[in-house]
Amino acid sequence: MKRFEMRVDPITQEVYYEVPLKGRTLLNDPLLNKGHVFSAQERYEFGLIGLIPDTYGTLEEQVDRNYTLICSRPTDLEKYVTLMGLRDRNETVYYALLTQHVEEMLPIVYTPTVGLACLKMSHIIRRYRGLYVSPGNINHIEKMLLNPGMPNVGLIVVTDGERILGYGDLGVDGMGIPIGKTALYIAAAGIHPSATLPICIDVGTNNERLLNDPLYIGIRQPRITGDAYYDVIERFVQGVRSVFPRALLQWEDFGKDHAFTLLERYHDRILSFNDDIQGTGTVAASALHTAMQIAGKPFSEQRICIVGFGQAGSGVANAIATMMQTEEGLSLSEARRRIFAVDINGLLLEGDQVEPYQKDFLQPREVIANWPTPKNRAPNMAEVVRHGKITTMIGLSAQPETFNEPLLRDLFKNTDRPFVFALSNPTSQCEATPELVMRVTNGRALMATGSPFAPVKTTDGHEIHISQCNNLYVFPGMGLGAICCQARRVTHSMFYAASRAISNMVTAEERAKGLLLPELKDIRRVCFEVALAVAKQARADGTGMIATDERLAEIIRAAMWEPHYYPYRYGRP
């Protein structure tokens, strides 16, 4: 049964919800509950008289009350639990609070706190949200997708919990990630809560801690692999295409063995993208573009070292190569030669046995022929920086202190404006702290991090702000734009358009402070500009709606929901 339908009064043009629920059932529905903001007519019509105080409040009062409660919690994890409790009671208040305090609440509802929450999810979960799909129930997928009772789901975020942030395999406890991502789609891009659906595909876990935890809520077996795994995914995609044929599917935190395969396999079959691969690359390329504008240096002078060349690292490399091609006309091979991919065994070289997604960025062995390094092994990261004359360091290694002082000093010798992107999450996994980077480079570095850091004061009292290279700049606007323009697929050029749109929004004042990305307080405006750029590019690619720029902007603005209460009218089931 659908929990409500959005209607328009044909006479008054009032937009309202037709709701089939009454009494405590209505009060217990977090999507529809208004608390003591229900009007007198609604209290009478829906059997609420006496079930709530006989006074009338406002949404603003509800936000203030809950904000005060959250601020009183002593730790970020307790704030997270309190926020989830609010979301389970009243989603409108939750999103209004999130929207009004986005910079403050972002580290709570998403990285880094969401990672801590996922580590303890089976112990702190109070109410199930979204859908839990497993090999045991996958054949009922069409019925399951209808069970939430949403009128029209347009966005699905799905994970199998294998690669959760920097923590690895967390099984079904990884559900905290798609729940957090859908919250950000709603708060940042204004996608209506009823149009979003977080999903966890529980195929087991190889995490012994979870398998031995008596409170673990997931399937207690090793992960299924091979054809059995892909059969579950295929059946899942079939169900989504059948029930919600126009929905966008975001693949989230899948392991490297599956992420690229799924992205490639379903790219043309369902509107979808992988934020870890494509979103991370897009926002990093955007920050790099801004950094080069500040430094006044072209791409052709950059020699870039990416440390940690998994799915995110390859996504960053491909995004930068695309920008080099488009911005300065470099050939694809020329662009790739300027990117040095370093993994656990050192620099990736031609002839190495590597993953398919790494092959395009193998350096020719003649590049290192004259380096004074041992020839029986690949050059390590420090040797690459020193002898490869690296000017830009990008870290996705999930190894803290990877960018140590000696390495940063060598980097600073290669260029007077080094670019340092320490992008691993959470904060404890960051490759270098901003304090260290700015001290070693005398405040000359242009830096971005994966998690939020406070501004750094230089010895002369100048304050340098550190941009958080957060995928929030990309994925909500990408999803909003793709949905609004009714795109048939997400293309690489749509991500490039998003990257340029983000960089173009950084003002001269923000650049003067060291910021490489717009301030997060402007995230709603960022999402609108990204969505519009994406819709225009989809039109140019022949995969999206044919409409004028003005019409696309009008559609996107109309789709961006602001948290507020709609009037209700009773409708029988």
Q: At 317, which CATH number?
A: 3.40.50.720
Position 338 in a domain = yes
- Is residue 119 located within the same domain as residue 139? yes
d(CA 531, CA 570): 35
Is 188 within 8 Å of 476 (Cβ atoms)? yes
Helix axes of 549-559 and 475-484: crossing angle, nearest 10 degrees:
110
Position 542 in a domain = no
Q: Which of 80, 110, 229, 473 is catalytic?
A: 110
d(CA 409, CA 389): 12
Question: Which residue is it, tokens 């801690």?
Answer: 209
Position 405 in a domain = yes
Position 496 in a domain = no
Domain boundary among 453, 471, 489: 471
Position 378 in a domain = yes
Q: Which of 34, 79, 80, 181 is catalytic?
A: 181
d(CA 461, CA 78): 35
d(CA 86, CA 67): 10
- Is residue 17 located within the same domain as residue 88? no
Beta bridge partners of 347: 342
- Is residue 97 located within the same domain as residue 227? yes
Domain boundary among 216, 247, 270: 270
* Tens-level pLDDT at each residue, the chain (573 residues): 789 999 999 999 999 999 999 999 999 999 999 999 999 999 999 999 999 999 999 999 999 999 999 999 999 999 999 999 999 999 999 999 999 999 899 989 988 899 899 999 999 999 999 999 999 999 999 999 999 999 889 999 999 999 998 789 999 999 999 999 999 999 999 999 999 999 999 999 999 999 999 999 999 999 999 999 999 999 999 999 999 999 999 999 999 889 999 999 999 999 999 998 999 999 999 999 999 999 998 888 899 999 999 989 999 999 999 999 998 889 999 999 999 999 999 999 999 999 999 999 999 999 999 999 998 999 999 999 999 999 999 999 989 999 999 999 999 999 999 999 999 977 888 999 999 999 999 999 999 999 889 999 987 788 999 999 999 999 999 999 999 999 999 999 999 999 999 999 999 999 999 999 999 899 999 999 999 999 999 999 999 999 999 999 999 999 999 999 999 999 988
Q: How is 460-511 classified by DSSP, letter by letter?
A: TS-EE--EE--GGGTHHHHHHHHHHTT-SS--HHHHHHHHHHHHHT--HHHH
- Is residue 246 located within the same domain as residue 258? yes
- Is residue 251 located within the same domain as residue 356? no
- What's the confidence (pLDDT) of residue 166? 76
Beta bridge partners of 343: 346
Helix axes of 102-109 and 91-100: crossing angle, nearest 10 degrees:
120
- Is residue 410 located within the same domain as residue 295? yes
- Is residue 446 located within the same domain as residue 426? yes
Q: What share of the chain is helix, strand, coil (3-state, %, to 5)?
A: 50, 10, 40
Rg value, the chain, Cα: 24
Beta bridge partners of 304: 339, 392
Active site residue 34: no
Domain boundary among 456, 471, 486: 471
d(CA 179, CA 175): 6
- What's the confidence (pLDDT) of residue 108? 93
Residue 449: closest CA among 504, 403, 390: 403
- Is residue 287 located within the same domain as residue 371? yes
- What's the confidence (pLDDT) of residue 459? 78
- What's the confidence (pLDDT) of residue 249? 98
d(CA 19, CA 352): 61
Helix axes of 549-559 and 523-541: crossing angle, nearest 10 degrees:
130
Active site residue 2: no
- Is residue 399 located within the same domain as residue 453? yes
- What's the confidence (pLDDT) of residue 47? 98
Is 521 within 8 Å of 103 (Cβ atoms)? yes
Structural domain of residue 168, as residue ranges?
59-270
Position 451 in a domain = yes
d(CA 292, CA 446): 9
Position 571 in a domain = no
Position 569 in a domain = no
Strands 456-457 and 463-464, by their bridges, are antiparallel
Q: Quick one: tokens of 424? A: 């691993």
- Is residue 79 located within the same domain as residue 181? yes
- Is residue 461 located within the same domain as residue 372? yes
C-beta neighbour count of 472 within 10 angstroms: 27
Q: Domains in the chain: how many in total?
A: 3
- Is residue 260 located within the same domain as residue 385? no
